[in-house]
């Protein structure tokens, strides 16, 4: 065997032995020794126990790993955030330009939820949510129901604010709140 191949084999064996020392429980009494020339002799267990709860490894009797699912509000928020920087155009409902209620309607449609077209009608739909119970994607209404946006978390809202301003994220406190809804 060539010197490089022996070195690679030895390095791999040592790495495996070191990794095994950290990840595997101590070898049971039934372990079989294996000798790697120039490296040493190691006990190799007849069976290897794999720790429970490793993602991607299914074990008999263990529940399968399930990835968390996003809510419709979170999906709508993702859609709205993807449009930050898009132009404001009165009456536009996407996909390239928006007014406030058009952004909310388009974003929820991307999440598979149909909403009314106007800010006032959006404030009358869904379920009322208090400001201290907001979740990302909840619709927040401003100026007596004349403006709407989606709660982006951390006290912010994503919205199509006004002519000459692109879709943006702004503090909720920058506008007078009228209410919030969850769909």
Q: Is 157 a catalytic residue?
A: no
Q: Is 147 a catalytic residue?
A: yes
| Active-site pick, 100, 111, 123, 150 | 100
Considering only CA atoms, which of 135, 138, 132, 87 is closest in space to residue 108? 138
| Active-site pick, 83, 105, 147, 181 | 147
Considering only CA atoms, which of 30, 38, 48, 41 is closest in space to residue 9? 38
| Active-site pick, 104, 159, 160, 172 | 159
Q: Is 159 a catalytic residue?
A: yes
46-52: Cβ within 8 A, 24+ apart: 48/24, 49/24, 49/25, 51/23
Which residues touch 134 (CB under 8 Å, ≥6 apart)? 140, 151, 180
Residues designated catalytic: 100, 147, 159
């Amino acid at each position: 065997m060539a010197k490089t191949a022996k070195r690679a084999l030895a390095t791999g064996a040592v790495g495996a032995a070191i990794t095994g020392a950290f990840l595997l429980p101590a070898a049971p009494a039934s372990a079989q020794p294996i000798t790697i020339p120039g490296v040493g002799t190691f006990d190799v267990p007849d069976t290897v126990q794999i720790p429970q709860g490793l993602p991607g490894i299914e074990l008999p009797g263990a529940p399968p790993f399930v990835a968390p699912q996003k809510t419709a509000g979170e999906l709508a928020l993702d859609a709205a955030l993807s449009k930050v920087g898009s132009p404001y155009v009165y009456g536009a409902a996407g996909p390239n330009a928006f007014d406030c209620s058009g952004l909310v309607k388009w974003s929820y449609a991307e999440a598979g939820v149909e909403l009314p077209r106007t800010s006032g009608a959006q404030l009358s739909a869904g379920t009322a949510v208090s400001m201290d119970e907001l979740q990302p994607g909840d619709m927040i209404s401003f100026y007596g129901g004349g403006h709407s946006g989606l709660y982006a978390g951390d006290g912010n809202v994503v919205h199509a604010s006004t002519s000459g301003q692109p879709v943006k994220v702004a503090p909720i406190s920058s506008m007078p709140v009228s209410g919030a809804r969850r769909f």
